Structure 1
């Protein structure tokens, strides 16, 4: 027996997702293909009349869903198999990353109205949700909520108007992502908030975010870069996809060491898809350098995305910028190699040269940019820390991040400027 879900992009039916004998298939709607302005759901799903088989279909659609424990708990909530991408999209695929919405055949897309369906929350209700999320990810199963975001950490799409936090019901687009503290990771909210503030101060164009507190409870509110307001104030979706989706890689192998994308593939994707590509490629280089120097070891291919603007695809703003290297219990291995090395302590000048070569960049230009960031990061980090307006002064985790940045930047500068330095194996500072 075949099961079907209609796949809507923006406000139009783009195609049909089908499940037959446990295998997914996707086919674009002929009416969608006939449109002069038709766009593809994904780089990995180009516009064509022929259906895509399971191998081609799964990476994009599975890539819209939560992972790990979050996925298992959501599957339990709906009494479906943890491996059933189709059933999970059926239950929670109303508000996804990008502009995709899933509806049952014949179901109408909720009409946008002046009065969006938002359940505004009191402070007590926000705290109750923070307590509920670890046990009920995405608030799965609550009436009127069909919310999905990729990733393994707790998060929730919400609406934030500058003062109030609300839950988007019945197809209302969210405006922000609420990120609570990560269990067993000390002060992850301040960590990510500081790293995003640092990237923003360096004009690296990250996602905008701010730490919020209710009593003693803190959380991060991140502006959704894949949402915008139109001329009359209605919130609209902007399509996007992460690099694994664009490269046709399933979420289970997002890390390079398990067969996932490497940095050369990421740079090649940006160069192929964006026009003009040079500014986007240089932005990606900045992100890679920033991640290395701040200790964000979990920067795998699902932590980079393409954003599909009217003028064409661009590299999405920087997101998920946690400095994982300051936590001794987390791996010292980076998600993607720089040159031939997974460990930052082993990266010499020649490995940065290998990165440049694989990315199709001039080695001299790459070295110049690495040195620029390595010299500007430490003083910029200290300035942010000392500014009471940012709220990071006296935070122990932020102090450890800055100490790590100072050590990594000094090491990098020495290795890139002193010809006598070779084959060192400096250790990270103790955390």
Structure 2
């Protein structure tokens, strides 16, 4: 028996995701979607065609909509399905995913919440209940009326804001924010991510807005979703997006370059092929690469860069999930994607930047200028950003330590391009 999920985009049927009796996934575009010249493909890796896509072809995109690693395990357990069963997980979680899509059972079209279905505001006790539930029920899997999914290995849940207060969405309501509790294994990860994200914004990078909040002495990070647009009438519209692994047809399990995932050469080539303004986005990606080196964010793998398909055409999405992983000795210091053949700041030298320039298809003089510029901006802005976050309810000492570490790395990074051959 073949099972089916309908794929919807802005109220239009895109196609069907299927699972046959052997458990194999397949995807086919709907004839109406194929005949509409304005309709876009779901992914750069799934071009519009009448021929159905095999599991090998479609699984990287659809599997990439789901949580990963321990989050996937816990969600599957909470739902009573196999962790390896992408279809079963999407069936239970696919009502609100990253991007514009909704995955719904056959015969069930997308609907807006009924008048008697309103978001559920969370008071302090409600927020604590959600934070406590996430380790065993990621994305609140199994919660009455909720079908939510986000990729990633960190604990999080999509939410909405009601007069600034966090609320759980009504059934079918697009979420507008992501609530992220701290990572329990490490100290001050809320402060870490808030600082690094705000520092990136302060030096001019395009970054998802974040806010560090506290409830009963517990911290959480509230991230504004860049794949949602709120109109003047308050109506929330989903905007399509996909991460680089999805766009390149790479399964989420191999998101790291060392496992066969995207390299910087792949990423820059993808933007040149897909972006509406590739020259602009290539430079934005270059700045993001340099900033991640300075910030000590070694986890910038293929699922932590995305393409946003908005009204202006495909473009590099705002940056997200920026964390100074270098602050935690238990985490690998090696870059998820190498700069040339080097995987740490200590190893970086002029030759590695020259090799990176070749991979990125950019001139070495440009890279030298950008390294110097980004390093100088970080040195100029780090103290002010740290001061903005130094509120009594947050860990001020940790924030100052993050700032100190990143300023030191900025100085060291600036030196790595010295003597680079033109």
Q: What TM-score do the two structures reach when normalised by structure 2?
A: 0.96
State the superposition RMSD in angstroms.
Answer: 1.8
- Counterpart Cα distance in 1 of 2:268 and 2:222: 29
Tell me the secondary structure at the aligned position of residue 337 of structure 2: strand
Give the corresponding residue for 2:221.
220
Give runs of aligned pairs for residues 134-213 of structure 1, distance below 5 A.
Answer: 134-213=135-214
CA apart distance, 1:75:
1.0
Give the corresponding residue for 2:410.
409
- Counterpart Cα distance in 1 of 2:117 and 2:281: 35
CA apart distance, 1:391:
6.9
CA apart distance, 1:403:
2.4
- Counterpart Cα distance in 1 of 2:87 and 2:174: 22
- Counterpart Cα distance in 2 of 1:174 and 1:403: 36
Q: Do the aligned residues in 2 keep the contact of 1:73 with 1:135 (CA within 8 Å)?
A: yes
1:275–1:114 CA distance, 2 compared to 1 (3 A): farther
Q: How many residues align?
A: 420
Deviations 1:354-395 (A, max 9, x none): 111111111101110011111221231012223467779862
Q: Do the aligned residues in 2 keep the contact of 1:384 with 1:390 (CA within 8 Å)?
A: no
- Counterpart Cα distance in 2 of 1:151 and 1:73: 13
- Counterpart Cα distance in 1 of 2:365 and 2:163: 44
CA apart distance, 1:265:
0.3
Give the corresponding residue for 1:27.
28
The reply on whether 1:295 has 2:272 as its aligned counterpart is no
Deviations 1:212-267 (A, max 9, x none): 11120110000000000134220110000000000000000000001101011001
- Counterpart Cα distance in 2 of 1:304 and 1:232: 31
Deviations 1:52-77 (A, max 9, x none): 00100100000000011111111112
Q: Bigger shift: 235-244 or 224-233?
A: 224-233
- Counterpart Cα distance in 1 of 2:311 and 2:416: 43
Tell me the secondary structure at the aligned position of residue 333 of structure 1: coil
Q: Do the aligned residues in 2 keep the contact of 1:180 with 1:220 (CA within 8 Å)?
A: yes
- Counterpart Cα distance in 1 of 2:354 and 2:341: 11
- Counterpart Cα distance in 1 of 2:352 and 2:163: 45
Tell me the secondary structure at the aligned position of residue 417 of structure 1: coil
1:140–1:419 CA distance, 2 compared to 1 (3 A): closer
Q: Bigger shift: 379-388 or 349-358?
A: 379-388
- Counterpart Cα distance in 1 of 2:389 and 2:197: 17
Give runs of aligned pairs for residues 330-345 of structure 1, distance below 5 A.
Answer: 330-345=331-346
Give the corresponding residue for 2:66.
65
- Counterpart Cα distance in 1 of 2:363 and 2:284: 15
Give runs of aligned pairs for residues 353-372 of structure 1, distance below 5 A.
Answer: 353-372=354-373
Q: Structure 1: where are the runs of 5+ without partners?
A: 421-431
CA apart distance, 1:169:
2.5
Q: Do the aligned residues in 2 keep the contact of 1:117 with 1:172 (CA within 8 Å)?
A: no
Tell me the secondary structure at the aligned position of residue 82 of structure 1: coil
Give the corresponding residue for 1:265.
266
Tell me the secondary structure at the aligned position of residue 164 of structure 2: coil
Q: Do the aligned residues in 1 keep the contact of 2:134 with 2:155 (CA within 8 Å)?
A: yes
- Counterpart Cα distance in 2 of 1:33 and 1:100: 17
Give the corresponding residue for 1:2.
2
Give the corresponding residue for 2:112.
111
- Counterpart Cα distance in 1 of 2:357 and 2:18: 42
CA apart distance, 1:118:
1.1
Tell me the secondary structure at the aligned position of residue 335 of structure 2: strand
- Counterpart Cα distance in 2 of 1:391 and 1:418: 45
Q: Do the aligned residues in 2 keep the contact of 1:180 with 1:219 (CA within 8 Å)?
A: yes
CA apart distance, 1:122:
1.3
Give the corresponding residue for 1:280.
281
Q: Bigger shift: 109-118 or 86-95?
A: 109-118
Give the corresponding residue for 2:13.
13
CA apart distance, 1:413:
2.2
Q: Structure 2: where are the runs of 5+ without partners?
A: none
Tell me the secondary structure at the aligned position of residue 334 of structure 1: coil
The reply on whether 1:320 has 2:321 as its aligned counterpart is yes
CA apart distance, 1:269:
0.5
- Counterpart Cα distance in 2 of 1:413 and 1:44: 37
Q: Do the aligned residues in 1 keep the contact of 2:296 with 2:325 (CA within 8 Å)?
A: yes
- Counterpart Cα distance in 1 of 2:227 and 2:382: 28
Q: What TM-score do the two structures reach when normalised by structure 1?
A: 0.94
1:26–1:375 CA distance, 2 compared to 1 (3 A): same
Tell me the secondary structure at the aligned position of residue 336 of structure 1: coil
Q: Bigger shift: 144-153 or 377-386?
A: 377-386
CA apart distance, 1:112:
5.9
- Counterpart Cα distance in 2 of 1:326 and 1:291: 13
Q: Bigger shift: 162-171 or 61-70?
A: 162-171
Q: Do the aligned residues in 2 keep the contact of 1:386 with 1:393 (CA within 8 Å)?
A: no
Q: Do the aligned residues in 2 keep the contact of 1:378 with 1:402 (CA within 8 Å)?
A: no
